[in-house]
A and B are shown apart, each in its own frame.
Chain A
Amino acid sequence: MSKNTSKGFFESLADGPSTDEFIKGLWKDNPVFVQVLGMCPVLAVSNTAENALAMGLATTFVLLMSNILVSLLRNFIPKQVRIASYILIIATFVTITDYAIQAISVELHKSLGAFISLIVVNCLILSRAEAFASKNTIGKSILDALGMGIGFVFALFCLGAVREILGSGSLFNFALFPAGFQNWVVMILPAGGFFTLALWLLLFNVLKEKKAS
């Protein structure tokens, strides 16, 4: 079995259109800005750039691992119970990630809080499993997961950076402005998350419209 899969793996890597699977997640089908998926962690932990980056990387890891497993098992999982199986697979990897982050940095684990566990219910991961990994070879699924994951990290970072710069006057805890700078406290508060995301989406919509006309 493992021999077969490894063969399929390399064959699929040699497939022509694979780079498309990677690129599309970065810009054209960006999970946050274009598909508007996985909003809860996007808004909740993007109050600083560091949190946003950590959350993005954790999500990418879970996305990658679950895409690999779902793609490997796609011919064995009965259609009726597929969603339940996908969620179980995702929950397993999230548990692993949760414990790993706790081992690496207790401080980070505290500031992300329950939102690491909530990666389980990130619609992005389930939608990739259902819409892509369950129908495609493992190589393509890996590229898809990496593309989407990096797109997700990029989007989270965009939000986190804006909110941290305006809300705390710093980026990655380095102060950017002279001492007289008045922090925009609203940016760290929940309302700031909604506003920042709305403005980023607006920017993307305007760009799309310009391109179309």
Chain B
Amino acid sequence: MPDPIPPNLPASISRRWGRLAPLLFGGALMILGCRPNTAGTAIDAQATIEFDPSPPAVGRVGLKIVLTDTAGQPVRLGHLEVEGNMNHAGMRPVFTRLEEVEPGRYAGPIEFTMGGDWFLLLSGQIPGGGRFDKKVDVPGVKPK
């Protein structure tokens, strides 16, 4: 049975590959070089998190967050918006709002819907302008 693919095209193949290779290499470098930087954050506030119960488990959990600036002074936002997500895509996020119970101390409930690794996205409005945003990992929420 004859091969339905035509035989080799002229020797220009190697020239074409020669032209293509730098493009492919350049593209690969560009992709490899553009990994988003997730290691650091520009936010200069420290978030200390406590759960009740600790470690947190699936269900309604008490959440306390203490925000302090680089000088150790409380960061006052009035309230803190919290969005909880699982590391795995495809899970609906959970939202809660923490009220400032003391200067820089925020408290409220959050409901974890599944065991595993979560992260919390904290956000708030800084008085006088600007936003506060921070991601905090919550590894190993216990299953029921």
Whether both chains belong to one complex is answered with no
Residues in chain A within 8 A of chain B (CB atoms): none
Residues in chain B within 8 A of chain A (CB atoms): none
